[in-house]
Chains A and B, each alone.
Chain A
Amino acid sequence: MRGSADFERIDAGGGATLRFTGNLSLACLRDLPERLNAIEGPIAKLDLSQVERIDTVGAWLVHRFARDHGSTLEGLEADEQHLLDQVAAAEHPIELPRKPADPFTRMLGEVGDAIFVAGHTLYGLLGFMGATTIAFWNVFTHPKRFRFNATVHRFEVVGVSALGIIGLMSFLIGIVIAQQGAVQLRQFGAEVYTINLVGRITLRELGVLMTAIMVAGRSGSAFAAQLGTMKLTEEIDAMRTIGVSPMEALVVPRTLAVVLMMPLLGFYASLVAIMGGGLLCWISLDIPPVTFIQRIREVVPLTDLWVGLVKAPVFGAIIAISGCFQGMQVEGDAEQVGNRTTIAVVQAIFLVIVLDAFFAVFFSEVGWI
């Protein structure tokens, strides 16, 4: 009974007739639409008495053909007629998707859009920093509103849980720096300066910078996704209606946690990287650990530690605020959560590196070289 849809043309007195046979349904159409499109000129009658079964797609094709060729329909059963009437009643003109503009115009448009979005985001981020500052001030003046448990919980998520991965990363970075440094310095017979290299670069720059990148990837993205999802499920709106400020309940604990954890993690990362460097020096340059530590104490000035530690909380604030900001920007659908999370991480890392450059200039100006 599952015959595929077909039709034959009968040219008899009074104009042409198309007699349809088989199943006029989506599953059995095959090339019927193309063949119908190929027919030109008026067709007087469509004979549907031989049709076994018809569904809405079949009904639509028949209706469209009859409309375009001015045909009358014949041989319909009552409920088939009802189906055709329903489909015909649902007809309305559709707009086909617009043609894309030419590549040059499109590129120009995209550049413009990107500049607009960048400016807009920067403006929004600045506003959000202000709002965060106000929230901090409010919590400071009304200490009862400070969410102690939420903050401590963030300490664990942001700080303690990150120890493993940050330690591993830093240890390997220490080894790489020492190894690369040793290879280059050996050419001048100055392998012993590998210790200076490892000690100073990790404490001043790499410890904190790599930690910031890792924290942006771990926590900044999590903040954006959490807040974004809460925004979608209207949890944040619910908070507002209850009278809880989302800035105080969500943004302050997260920002505070990252600001406080970053210096600790950065210091820890530097130490582990120095250990990694020390291990390589011991194995490959035959510098025993005791000598290594003694040299580190001699060649690394205390200001190097301050340079690293001063930067850490600033980076932390940037990471937390851009994560929370992007999370709060989510509107509409689930795809936005993904987009905003990506933007949060990219933005945080970008801003951290830009700020790091400013810090480098600043510290050399104040003489902490």
Chain B
Amino acid sequence: MMARREQDEVIIRVQGLKNGFGEQIVHENLDLEVRRGEILGVVGGSGTGKSVLMRSIVGLQTPLEGSIEVFGENTIGREETEATNIRKRWGVLFQGGALFSTLTVSENVQVPIKEFYPGLDQALLEEIAAYKVVMTGLPPDAGPKFPAELSGGMKKRAGLARALALDPELLFLDEPTAGLDPIGAAAFDELTASLQKTLGLTVFLITHDLDTLYAICDRVAVLADKRVIAVGTIDELLALDHPWIEEYFKGPRGRAAVASAERAQART
């Protein structure tokens, strides 16, 4: 994942996706491409199916129609063993962290490693878990704690540590900064950007947080009317003159986010 990567290589390619629950159609004819090494922000109003899109890509939701390719391989209807090989290469952070409640944070991080590489000795596993925990910004003493003893923000960080356990090439984040205080959210953004730089990650980031979009996203995909209506940098999106996008980015919160992004730029 270091250097030696082809720019503009497509990592996720979604084509003609259709998703629905019973009568209700969530996605129809949805196309999306995620390129290697970018942080792609996915935005959209509540109920536009951002999480459903993520669940379809990682294979938790079988779409009604369409094709999804990850790392150039089709993910729909794969044999379990082949699907496992793809799963090894991505990490997923769910909204609430989704930590295994009966395991400690450190054991949670070890689960994927043990699952895929059973041969490693316990001391090395503990060490790996320990530095992963600290790398995601948790205090060192969080390792032996159980998820129930952690705050919401710490659970997210622990979830991120687990998602990063296998050093994935692709990271899915579902609203990572929701429910965090502004300082914690900014730190999480910084962490995502730094990990992305360090590990050469591709990040698929669902968010409502305008500050996150301005601070770290290379491109933003906008979900509306059951499909992706536009993908591009924020400036490109604003040039489109779409009323929802205008309101999203130019509302009071959008203006505040621009101001803070500019302040941050001025400082560096």
Contact = CB atoms under 8 A, between A and B. Distances in A.
Interface string B62-82: 000000000000000000000
Interface string B105-125: 000000001000100110110
Interface in A39-55: 53-55
Contact of B197 (A25, A54, A82, A96): A82
A332 B197 contact: no
Give chain B's interface residue range (CB within 8 Å of chain A): 35 or more
B135 A86 contact: yes
A81 to B, nearest CB: 10
A60 interface: yes
A85 B65 CA distance: 46
A238 interface: no
Nearest to A31: B119
A82 B198 contact: yes
Contacts of A335: 101-102
A90 B131 CA distance: 5
A92 B147 contact: no
Nearest to B113: A26
Contacts of A95: 144
Nearest to A93: B140
B237 to A, nearest CB: 30
Contacts of A87: 131, 135
A245 interface: no
A288 interface: no
Nearest to A51: B2
Contacts of A333: 101-102, 146-148
A77 interface: yes
Contacts of B132: 56, 90
B126 A56 contact: no
A119 B197 CA distance: 56
B178 interface: no
Give the most central of A27, A80, A96: most B CB within 10 Å: A27
B134 A91 contact: yes
Contacts of A230: none
Contacts of B144: 95
Contacts of A33: 120-121, 124
A101 interface: no
Contacts of A365: none
Interface string A334-361: 1100000000000000000000000000
A94 B126 contact: yes
Nearest to B122: A96
A79 B135 contact: no
Nearest to B89: A27
Nearest to A34: B121
Given A33-B120, A94-B140, 14 more contacts: A33-B124, A54-B2, A55-B199, A56-B132, A56-B167, A64-B127, A86-B135, A86-B198, A87-B131, A91-B134, A92-B130, A94-B126, A96-B126, A333-B146
Interface of A: 25-27, 29, 33-34, 53-57, 60, 64, 77, 79-80, 82-83, 86-87, 90-96, 331-335
